[in-house]
Amino acid sequence: MRTITRSLPAFAAALALASLSASGLAAQAGADVQKAVDAAYAKYRTLKEGKNADYIPALAKVNPDLFGIAVVTADGKVYTAGDVKSEVSIQSISKVFTMAQVIQEQGADAIEKTIGVDATGARFNSIIAVEAVRTVVGSGAPEMNPLVNPGAISATGMVRGASADEVWKKIIGFHNDSAARNLDVLQDVYKSESDTNQRNQAIGALMLAYGYIKSNWQQAVDLYTRQCSIGVNARDLAVMASTLAFGGKNPVTNKQVMDAAKVPNVLAVMATAGLYDDSGKWLYHTGLPAKSGVGGGIIAVSPGKFGIAVVSPPLDDAGNSVRAQRAIADISNSLGGNPLAPPSR
């Protein structure tokens, strides 16, 4: 009895101390995040490697100096450096959220059985990749991937809806919920890509011919082009990444955007194919599921820790933003973000 009465105040004191140091730790962790973001911004601000994408004419006109970094933590706090307000087109990063929408709506099996989830190891708009996997289609499950154009156009074609409008509302709705704001299509990019996307139209037609798209490939290509033209800034993209980092629950709005149990499927495809044919190299250095877009954005996810995004238009040969790759790798490594590394304590 004596020991209990004595230990109670000691227990209370210990509790108070623990919560004090927990909030102290949170503040310290916040300072560390900002420090890492600032350091990467300073280090890469003047880096001039890479070149804007120009096969979509509107992308060539985007300011190549645009550089913004944002990190979102579990408490919904957003840490930023540089220009996190100017918008670029989301491009291929939208593929993640449309795939996620299909997984949410129709289950993880639907994507695997209709499109496949293996990396093609080829460029994002490769037609050879379509032909290569075609040889194994008859023998079993399809082998396309929803994060490169053929599979992505097919995934857009899978979103259910009685009209193009209805499908679009679902696609943009999922993006909005993940970003915590209403996003708009950049009309100049949409027009520019619609005028020049004959290659994607050819891919769409092939996907119908090979059974990946069931009907109306033209609608799938058009909606895919529209989703690629959604305007986002680095902050939006980081919030979108954080929704995936925290089990499908947007930490800014606390809205559950997708079922937590389905998020690992999304992250797995990002890990294997998010940076096209450089996905292996990226994973080797960071361990992070990520996705790039030819607009210059990259998102990356450290599950349970943070979502991060960088916007910087100049791309390397694989089509991935040079500064975004470097900044994200540095920040994640200094915050212990690699999910494949053993916990530091």
Token output for 126: 């490769």
Q: Is 314 near ligand GLN (CB under 6 A)?
A: no
- Residue 228 binds ligand GLN, judged by CB under 6 A: yes
Closer residue to ligand GLN (CB): 78 or 206? 206
Q: Is 207 in the site for ligand GLN (CB under 6 A)?
A: no
SS3 per residue for 122-134: CCCCCCHHHHHHH
3-state helix, strand, coil in the chain (%, to 5): 55, 10, 35
Give min distance, CB of 53 to ligand GLN, in A.
8
Rounded to a whole number of angstroms, the minimum distance from the CB of residue 157 to ligand GLN is 14
Nearer Cβ to ligand GLN, position 72 or 148? 148
- Our CB check for ligand GLN shows the closer of 92 and 154 to be 92
Q: For residue 207, is it left (φ>0), alpha (ψ between -120 and 50) or beta?
A: alpha
Encoded tokens for 60: 């060539």
Site track for ligand GLN across 91-130, x = CB under 6 A: xx-------------------------------xx-----
Number of residues forming the site for ligand GLN (CB under 6 A): 11
Neighbours of 77 (CB within 10 A): 17
**Residue 149 found at the interface with ligand GLN (CB under 6 A):** yes
State in angstroms the smallest separation of the CB of 135 from ligand GLN.
Answer: 24
Shortest distance (Å) from residue 200 CB to ligand GLN: 5
**Does 271 interact with ligand GLN (rule: CB under 6 A)?**
no
Q: Please say whether the beta carbons of 329 and 36 come within 8 A.
A: no
Please state the closest distance from residue 139 (CB atom) to ligand GLN, in A. 29
Q: Is 321 in the site for ligand GLN (CB under 6 A)?
A: no
Residue the block writes with tokens 């706090």: 77
165-204 binders of ligand GLN (CB under 6 A) = 193, 200
Angle (nearest 5°) at CA 129 between 98 and 54: 70
Beta bridge partners, 232, equal: 88
User: Based on the number of CB atoms within 10 Å of its own CB, is 7 exposed (0-12), middle (13-18) or buried (19 or more)?
Assistant: exposed
249: helix, coil or strand?
strand
Q: Where on the chain is the footprint of ligand GLN (CB under 6 A)?
A: 91-92, 124-125, 149, 193, 200, 228, 293-294, 319
